[in-house]
Structure 1
Amino acid sequence: MKATLRIYFTLSMMACACLFALTLQSQPAMHTLTNGCLTVKVMDPNAPDRYNTGVRFSPVANVLQVAVDGRDYLFSPEAHDPVTENGGLAMEFDLGGKDGPQPVSFVAADVGESFVKIGVGVLKKTTAKYEFYTQYPIVERAVTHAEWTSTGAIFAQTCPGANDFAYDLGAKITLSGNTLRIRYTLKNTGRRAFSTEHYTHNYFLFAGQPVGPGYALHFETPLPDDGVYDGARREGKTLHFDQVLPKAVNLVVPVFREGQGDAWRSLTVVCTVTKQSIHVSNTFPVSRIAVHAASRYLCPEQFVLIRLAPGETAEWERSFTFHKNTASPVQDKS
């Protein structure tokens, strides 16, 4: 009798394991949202074969494709490295580098100890200085839940944290006309205050047209003289890309000046060759702007700096409006 029960139990466990594996295999890597104007594809944060599986970008609200009348606005090629490469409106907390903060608790942790990467989870520190391209070992990936409708999605991520640092992260995607909005919430659930910097990478590419003649990046205020604009021509409030970029470039718009963050909340990217444009707006003052560009994509990145004491919550929103029939960076006839 005992042997029979053991066999039955073993078979039951095997059946459950097979069912779980089949469920994972059948989970779609992307979900399609549409409101009749926009067709949007969003990565499923829990699919085994999701577009990005690395530890740099968050799987939350990872919009990969947006199309209007069948014409694409974002770069997210099928052929890519899912560990190191992403696309679309991929988001990240704490890029690091000389201008930005390192991930929460990274500085305080010794090599070999754990640190918190908001949006990803708890990672193991293996370098003295944070490097966004390093694939730090996962100690505990944050748990992400997603609810889907035909026109939107809601994400909730929890991370128990490490060294008294912890958080809850939420995001809500909504479609309204030709505008996609992502509203974020971040709560400090740990025992220590922290600062963090959030941005979306914004891999923009219009209908496959290489970045070059016809592409322009327009701001609402004149560009400072002390910026780094390699690969672009500065004219007032606009950066023009007059030739196809032979290699990737990194441009810097210095907006750290006290009290000027509000002037940089909005920007517009336009391609007069394809007559498409994207207008981006933020509800938070911008702490800094970086522009990563190559022939394959144009990525204007607006950073927001968030400071939270234990128990505090921050909310902010980014909106992306997708236009067609665009005549110039400042004149839209959509």
Structure 2
Amino acid sequence: MKKPTVILVLTAALHLAAAANTPAPAGHAANTPVATAQSDTTAWPQADLSNGFLHARFYLPDARTGYYRSTRFDWSGVMPVLEYQGHTYFGQWFPQYDPTINDAIMGPVESFWPLGYDQAQPGGIFVQIGVGILTRPDTARYNQFRYYPIRYPGNWYVTRAPGAIEFRHDLATPGYSYIYIKNITLTPGKPQMVITHTLKNTGQNTIETDVFDHNFFVIDTQTVAPGRVLKLPFPITTEQPRGMGELADVRGDSIVILQPFAAKQSVYAIIHGYNDKADDYDFRLEEHRTGAAVRIRCDRPLARLAFWASVKTLCPEPFIHIKIAPGELFTWTLTYDFYTLTP
């Protein structure tokens, strides 16, 4: 058996000077995009995986040269490419790129609610799992769309084995410390991707947070239009709908697209109807114009579920709740099964 290969060891001390106390680029406090061309796709640390059915590419975490260096999403598992039977499932959905824009990111990426933000004073620190130790700049409430200066990015270790890649993030503070491991495996002999997570609390404080998977699907480079359907295993009701009824609508256990989106249009809703069992974390996203489809499952129950779509991406946004006492660990596994339909 071929031994795993360590393809990246990012030691925080080597990059601390570049990342510590870094101010947001001009305009980013208000999340103003910086128009930077995304032309050279070889410019960032990356790795490819294949199992003969699926081919995937990953941009690797790096505080100095990584593709994504903002503070909303976990830096591991950024996936600009996933291909199956001639179909593509991810890609650039946003109009402008800069490494510190909060959502200039691709793939089934995840975001945690921060630890210790409310207790921090202006100039003090808080923790974003999968990112590092951040600075609270003022008395404003936490805003997930805002860039926060990175005080210390922690240590990243990336190991590749045949058909698999593992990301490990180690972070230690006087209050919150953890070891976070994300292992992504392309299952041998089938069009399946499994993402297994382990979060161990190595600190003094209980870790309690929510994590959600944004699922930035860009299917076959198609814009979002009639023919794109999200199917759930329960009858859907919605709360706080925006654009529902005009751009998208609920049809029993499905959300269907009613018309093509204009450049700046989007739709959003909080979804209800699920139970407290893991079997309701089971979604199917189907693109009937091209025949590409995917099923997403988890071994943990939903804590919250949202739906968001814009002109190029349609995203089920499932949340799970995490509570870990010091010395304990929490695991969760996501399974993606890719399949095709007759267009």
TM interval, short-chain normalised: 0.7 to 0.9
Shift of 1:35: 0.6
Instruction: Give a deviation string over 1:173-200, Cα, whole Å, max 9, x none.
Output: 1111111011000011111112111122
Q: Which residue pairs with 1:82 in the alignment? A: 99
CA distance in 2, matches of 1:326, 1:46: 41
Tell whether the 8 Å contact from 2:227 to 2:289 is kept in structure 1 after alignment.
yes
Q: Which residue pairs with 2:283 in the alignment? A: 267
TM-score by length of 1: 0.82
Instruction: Give a deviation string over 1:99-143, Cα, whole Å, max 9, x none.
Output: xxxx11111111211011111110000242101121111111121
Answer yes or no: is 1:233 the counterpart of 2:255. no
Q: Which runs of 5+ in 2 are unaligned?
A: 1-13, 15-41
Answer yes or no: is 1:67 the counterpart of 2:70. no
Which of the residues 237, 246, 250 maps onto 2:268?
Answer: 250
Report percent identity of matched pairs.
25
Q: Decide which moves more: 32-41 or 187-196.
A: 187-196
Shift of 1:61: 2.3
Which of the residues 78, 85, 93 maps onto 2:112?
Answer: 93
Answer yes or no: is 1:180 the counterpart of 2:193. yes
Shift of 1:149: 2.7
CA distance in 2, matches of 1:269, 1:83: 29
Q: Which residue pairs with 2:229 in the alignment? A: 216
TM-score by length of 2: 0.80
Tell whether the 8 Å contact from 1:57 to 1:119 is kept in structure 2 after alignment.
yes
RMSD: 2.2
More helix by share: 1
Cα separation, partners in 2 of 1:326 and 1:92, compared to 1, 3 Å: farther
Counterparts of 1:1-334 in structure 2 under 5 Å?
A: 29-46=45-62, 48-76=64-92, 80-84=97-101, 85-94=104-113, 103-127=114-138, 128-162=140-174, 164-176=175-187, 177-224=190-237, 226=239, 228=241, 230=244, 231-246=247-262, 247-254=265-272, 259-326=275-342
Tell whether the 8 Å contact from 1:144 to 1:157 is kept in structure 2 after alignment.
yes
| One-letter identity of the residue aligned with 1:283 | D
Aligned with 1:301: secondary structure?
Answer: strand
| One-letter identity of the residue aligned with 1:197 | D
| One-letter identity of the residue aligned with 2:338 | F
Aligned with 1:310: secondary structure?
Answer: coil
CA distance in 2, matches of 1:153, 1:180: 11
Aligned with 1:132: secondary structure?
Answer: coil
Q: How many correspondences in the alignment?
A: 292
CA distance in 1, matches of 2:342, 2:240: 27
CA distance in 2, matches of 1:129, 1:326: 48
Q: Which residue pairs with 2:19 in the alignment? A: none
CA distance in 1, matches of 2:223, 2:144: 26
| One-letter identity of the residue aligned with 2:112 | F
Cα separation, partners in 2 of 1:67 and 1:225, compared to 1, 3 Å: closer
Shift of 1:244: 1.1
CA distance in 2, matches of 1:129, 1:136: 12
Instruction: Give a deviation string over 1:12-48, Cα, whole Å, max 9, x none.
Output: xxxxx9xxxxxxxx99622110011000011111384
Cα separation, partners in 2 of 1:221 and 1:62, compared to 1, 3 Å: same
Instruction: Give a deviation string over 1:43-87, Cα, whole Å, max 9, x none.
Output: 111384432111211112223321013321113369622211111
Q: Decide which moves more: 224-233 or 105-114.
A: 224-233
Aligned with 2:193: secondary structure?
Answer: strand
